[in-house]
Structure 1
Amino acid sequence: MSKGILETERLYLKPLSFKELLYISNDNINKFEAIIEAEGIFDSVRSAILKKLEKMKNINEENHRWYTYWLIINKGNKKAIGFIGFKGLPDKNGYTEVGYSISCNCRSKGFMTESLKTLIKWARKSKACKGVIARVINSNISSKKVLNNCNFRYVSKIQDIEKYVVIFS
């Protein structure tokens, strides 16, 4: 795998370029080395990609990794099984928000926990980042389990959205 890719025991996390995000938003997933499971590209992912593209076209390319999705690739079969990424650079208080999605075929196997732990480890290397925020729908038990596995703690709830945070020490 090329430079910039994060590696775990079972996964690669590849930061997607602006051009690669465009391919996904235009349904050109056949342009990738890895086969992307179509079941992992939900409407919410497509919507988030459009937001990411809008932000990324106005920022310095060296900061794209804070805005893009990272493609989660299963080392075993070389298939792309999901997406994870921050919603931008850390704010003035040092926090950034994370979002993620995984193919229905790959849930409950620890892949997202492994991915989130790896991306948090990457974010810790930035002196500007003091922690990561996550927001989940109250009914999303699986996502809350991932956050718990990654040492996030519950902060608050507004309507049906719960906020969690992990603070770097």
Structure 2
Amino acid sequence: MAGENEFRNRLDAVAARIVEKALAHSLTIATAESCTGGVVSAAITEIAGSSAVFGTGFVTYSNAAKARLLKVPTDRLERFGAVSGEVAEAMAEGARREAGSDIAVSITGIAGPGGGSDPKPVGLVHFACASKLGTVHVERRFGPLGRSVVRQASAATALELIEETLDRLAQAEAG
């Protein structure tokens, strides 16, 4: 698995591409981050011109924040837990709705070093990306690589998911 510097380079490269693609198609992006704590938003806003496509980044670390800011149903949080595909999807859909954006990505996981269990080990991260084409869920198991590396790898994955969604939207538009 790559180290932190390699993920940082990936973050910068993918963030630049998504800002360029979102600008080209006049699309807006929002984020809903839990275990990454704003790393995805920071990567996007590092790019000059990002303010034209990025207006809202939610950091919803607690279940209460997920419910209050993103309108994630509390029964979904209780039934599936914060680290689940069901909650990741609700976070992305809530961020898109609350921000009024074209695309929203969400990240929820266990960065470590503690907090894992057999069914939900350290390094388990759920992602979702919501757009007018629907919501896509992705699960990754990074393993116990260390908190910082899991967070960087998660941010890179989230940015790549945004890029894939931008590409799908562009194809649908050209269609």
Q: TM-score, normalised by structure 1?
A: 0.31
Which structure shows the higher helix fraction? Answer: 2
**Structure with the higher strand share, 1 or 2:** 1
Comparing both chains, which one has the higher relative contact order based on Cα–Cα distances under 8 Å and sequence gaps of 6 or more? Answer: 2
Task: State the TM-score, normalized to the length of structure 2.
Answer: 0.31
